[in-house]
């Protein structure tokens, strides 16, 4: 049953290895989902892998069901589908823009910043100057919200620099306590984006 | 005139540019790396934006971050200072594409003059004397050897993409060519991402004399006289002065005229410096053209009374030059000493540290361009320039005495910090320098004397 569900999901392209290093299984529909049945499914799904899931999301009437596992495989984030890339995105095939893009990716990769404060909370900071987006596209649910638990390598937002999109990932495991920058807000290098209360080992 | 100018640089030059902007009523935006969060220009500017980590590659050289900051702050122009993005044609073009004025020459001019081999060819075409050497870049060691056989030794290998005294090697005999070629081309690839080299005759006992030129967008070009920058250590300038001592007037006129001719030939706009090598026999040849403000520009400002940054801004804003050649009347003598955070006893290794005391000299006709202050951390991330001490006097002797007095009262202290102040005073006091008879070999020669 659980395997079927995963296979089904895989067929629909919903189970995928995320660039963030997270295995995620998600199921959508049918319309008449029964909450109890969904709970069973999610429990069964959660047991399909030996390691515990890092995140479970269950929506009822819209019928979403998501489970994430930390993945041992870290893939490079190749491309991000993004908001704000209008018709101008087509221009980005010029060599200049490509090199800008490569630079932007370099810089983003180079600086994975976490700011600690004496309140025991940690801050995930902007890896570069840019515009911070909460979700993959306008209107889509945010990557993270207050109360979510996050694992290292999980995407928490997108940073746009000169029409070049770079993922922002947390290097901290914990619970999101605050989102400091509004969606579409301008940020400087190392500006705190979200507050995470670390879990484990403290 | 511009409403807001973003300064895409750091250190003393960022502050120097911001000061003139303030005088013109222009709002300033400083961009800075993490290491420069507390920098003087960040404190001075009307607004600052943190664009990246200390590594220049991810901050001051990172075009997307600089452009993002410019667009966000509503800058209508970017002043690139010297170094970093100042001679990058791509950056100038990206600025243009975003409707932001790049304060410097047009991208195609930077591109042509930045290719040192192409610049050589263009300038030869314009009638400027260039040294015998390869036509453009050599294709490899074999061609370099062929050119060497024609022009003879000593010769100089130079990186096509070089500048700032890097990517240069003097070859004195044929048996050194192979090794020098390989080393220089490897160095050029590492530093400039371009391993092409060209070959030129090397002039012994030469002087380095450069001419400051200003060109507006309306076809006017004037020169502001010359500077002597012969006091160098490993192609890095240490002391500069204007005018050049013991330079016959006819020669001065020829060099200045050549520079203006060269600038007009390539459609130059903005401030340019034409660097010449002057041989003991009085012949001079063009070395290269720099498409930016020079570190040593203050000596020209002191003798001409013209603020070069102001002129750059006015020219970039499209205004015609406010003076003609005959209005430029250099007066007196100016000298600049570069005080670096380096240890002269450790082969001038950078000697950074936290400044506990920083009291620059003052008094009559002394100007100090510096970003340093007590509490400032002179870090390892950027070049070691700490302060430019500039003096003016009616004649050279008085200027030398004034410079020695000024350096003598300069107080710089810091844990681990060393400066070149003592060394500069030794150079200034040396008989060859006092007499104005020094050449580019002067510093190495003095070091050899000391070692005896």
Question: Which residues lie below 8 Å from residue B114, measured CB to CB, with a gap of 6+?
Answer: B87, B89, B161, B163, B291
Buried b (16+ CB within 10 A) or exposed e, B187-217: bbeebbebbbbbbbbbbeebbbbbbbbbbbb
Q: For A91, name the nearest residue in chain B, comparing CA atoms only.
A: B97
Q: Do B58 and A190 touch (CB under 8 A)?
A: no
Per the structure block, which two tokens stand in for A98?
């490509």
Evaluate whether A73 touches A19 at the Cβ level (below 8 Å).
no
Asked if the C-beta of A129 comes within 8 angstroms of chain B's C-beta atoms, the answer is yes
Using alpha carbons only, give the angle B11, B15, B20 rounded to the nearest 5 degrees: 150
A135 touches chain B (CB under 8 A): no
ipTM of the complex: 0.77
Question: Is B51 in contact with A129 (Cβ distance < 8 A)?
Answer: yes
CB contact under 8 A, A128 and B65: yes
**From the CA of B35, how many Å to the nearest CA of chain A?**
12
- Is B58 an 8 Å CB contact of chain A? yes
Least CB-CB distance to A128: which of B52, B55, B67?
B52
Taking the Cβ of residue A111 and every Cβ of chain B, the question of whether any pair is shorter than 8 Å is answered with yes
DSSP per-residue string spanning B397-433: HHHHHHHHHHHHH-EEEEET---SHHHHHHHHHSHHH
Chain B residues with beta carbon closer than 8 angstroms to that of A192:
none
Is residue A125 within 8 A of residue A114, CB to CB? The reply is yes
Q: Does A107 touch chain B (CB under 8 A)?
A: yes
pLDDT tens, N- to C-terminus, chain B (452 residues): 999 999 999 999 999 999 999 999 999 999 999 999 999 999 999 999 999 999 999 999 999 999 999 999 999 999 999 999 999 999 999 999 999 999 999 999 999 999 988 999 999 999 999 999 988 899 999 999 999 999 999 999 999 888 777 889 999 999 999 999 999 999 999 888 899 999 999 998 999 999 999 999 999 999 999 999 999 998 899 999 999 999 999 999 999 999 999 999 999 999 999 999 999 999 999 999 999 999 999 999 999 999 999 999 999 999 999 999 999 999 999 999 999 999 998 889 999 899 999 999 999 999 999 999 999 999 889 999 999 999 999 999 999 999 999 999 999 999 889 999 999 999 999 999 999 999 999 999 988 887 77
The two beta strands, A122-125 and A114-116, are antiparallel
Would you call A193 an interface residue with chain B, using a CB distance cutoff of 8 Å?
no
Q: Which of A111, A162, A190 sits opposite B64 (nearest CB)?
A: A162
Chain A nearest-CA distance from B272, in A, is: 26
Q: Which residues contact A99 (CB under 8 A, 6 or more apart)?
A: B90
The 10 Å Cβ neighbour count of residue A92 is 15
Catalytic residues of B: 292
**Gyration radius (Cα) of chain A, Å:** 18
Q: Within an 8 Å CB–CB cutoff, is residue A189 touching chain B?
A: yes
Tokens of B390: 């500039």
What number of other Cβ atoms are within 10 A of residue B380's Cβ? Answer: 13
First to last CA, chain B: 58
Handedness of CA B331, B310, B338, B106 (dihedral sign): negative
Closest chain B CA to residue A160 = B68
CB–CB of B51 and A104 under 8 A?
no
Q: What is the pTM of this model?
A: 0.81
What are the DSSP calls for B160-206, one per residue? EEEETTEEEEEE-SGGGHHHHHHHHHHHHHHHHS---EEEEEPPTT-
**Spatial separation of the C-alpha atoms in residues B8 and B77, rounded to whole Å:** 10
């Amino acid at each position: 049953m659980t395997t079927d569900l995963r296979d089904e999901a895989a067929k629909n392209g919903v189970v995928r290895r995320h660039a963030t290093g997270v295995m995620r299984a998600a199921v959508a529909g049918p319309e008449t989902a029964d909450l109890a049945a969904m709970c069973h499914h999610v429990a069964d799904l959660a047991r399909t892998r030996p390691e515990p899931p890092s995140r479970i999301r269950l929506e009822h009437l819209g019928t979403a069901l998501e489970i994430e596992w930390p993945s041992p495989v870290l893939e490079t984030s190749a491309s991000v589908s993004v908001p704000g890339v209008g018709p101008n995105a087509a221009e980005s095939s010029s060599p200049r823009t490509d090199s800008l893009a490569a630079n932007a990716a370099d810089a983003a990769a180079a600086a994975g910043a976490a700011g600690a404060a004496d309140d025991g909370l940690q801050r995930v900071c902007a890896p570069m100057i840019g515009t911070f987006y909460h979700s993959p596209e306008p209107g889509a649910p945010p990557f993270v919200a207050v109360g979510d638990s996050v694992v290292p390598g999980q995407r928490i937002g997108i940073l746009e620099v000169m029409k070049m999109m770079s993922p922002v990932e947390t290097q901290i495991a914990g619970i999101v306590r605050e989102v400091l920058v509004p969606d579409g807000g301008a940020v400087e290098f190392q500006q705190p984006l979200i507050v995470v209360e670390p879990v484990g080992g403290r | 005139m511009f409403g807001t100018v973003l300064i895409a640089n750091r250190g003393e030059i960022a502050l120097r540019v911001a000061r003139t902007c303030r005088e013109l009523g222009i709002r300033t935006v400083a961009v800075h790396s993490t290491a420069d969060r507390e920098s003087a220009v960040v404190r001075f500017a009307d607004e600052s934006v943190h664009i990246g980590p200390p590594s220049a590659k991810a901050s001051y050289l990172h075009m997307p971050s600089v452009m993002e900051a410019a667009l966000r702050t509503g800058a209508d122009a970017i002043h690139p200072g010297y170094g970093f993005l100042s001679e990058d044609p791509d950056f100038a073009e990206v600025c243009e594409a975003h409707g932001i004025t790049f304060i410097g020459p047009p991208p195609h001019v930077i591109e042509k003059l930045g290719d040192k081999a192409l610049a050589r060819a263009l300038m030869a075409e314009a009638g400027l004397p260039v040294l015998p050497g390869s036509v453009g870049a050599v294709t490899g060691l074999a061609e370099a050897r062929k050119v060497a056989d024609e022009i003879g030794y000593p010769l100089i290998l130079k990186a096509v993409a070089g500048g700032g005294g890097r990517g240069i090697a003097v070859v004195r005999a044929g048996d050194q060519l192979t090794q020098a070629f390989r080393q220089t081309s490897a160095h050029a690839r590492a530093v400039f991402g371009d391993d092409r080299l060209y070959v030129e005759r090397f002039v012994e006992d030469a002087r380095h004399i450069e001419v400051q030129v200003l060109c507006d967008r309306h076809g006017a070009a004037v020169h502001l006289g010359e500077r002597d920058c012969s006091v160098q250590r490993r192609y890095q300038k240490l002391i500069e002065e204007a005018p050049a001592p013991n330079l016959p007037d006819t020669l001065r006129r020829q060099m200045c005229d050549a520079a203006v001719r060269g600038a007009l030939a390539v459609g130059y706009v903005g401030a340019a410096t034409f660097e010449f090598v002057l041989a003991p026999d009085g012949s001079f040849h063009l070395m290269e053209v720099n498409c930016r403000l020079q570190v040593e520009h203050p000596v020209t400002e002191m003798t001409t009374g013209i603020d070069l940054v102001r002129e750059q801004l006015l020219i970039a804003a499209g205004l015609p030059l406010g003076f003609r050649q005959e209005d430029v009347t250099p007066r007196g003598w100016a000298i600049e000493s570069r005080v670096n955070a380096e240890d002269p006893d450790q082969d001038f290794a950078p000697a950074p540290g936290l400044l506990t005391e920083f009291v620059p000299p003052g008094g009559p006709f002394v100007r100090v361009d510096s970003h340093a202050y007590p509490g400032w951390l002179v870090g390892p991330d950027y070049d070691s320039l700490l302060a430019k001490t500039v003096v003016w006097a009616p004649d050279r002797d008085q200027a030398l005495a004034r410079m020695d007095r000024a350096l003598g009262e300069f107080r710089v202290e810091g844990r681990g910090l060393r400066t070149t102040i003592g060394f500069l005073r030794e150079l200034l006091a040396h008989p060859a320098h006092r007499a104005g008879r020094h050449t580019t070999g002067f510093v190495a020669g003095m070091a050899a004397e000391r070692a005896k």
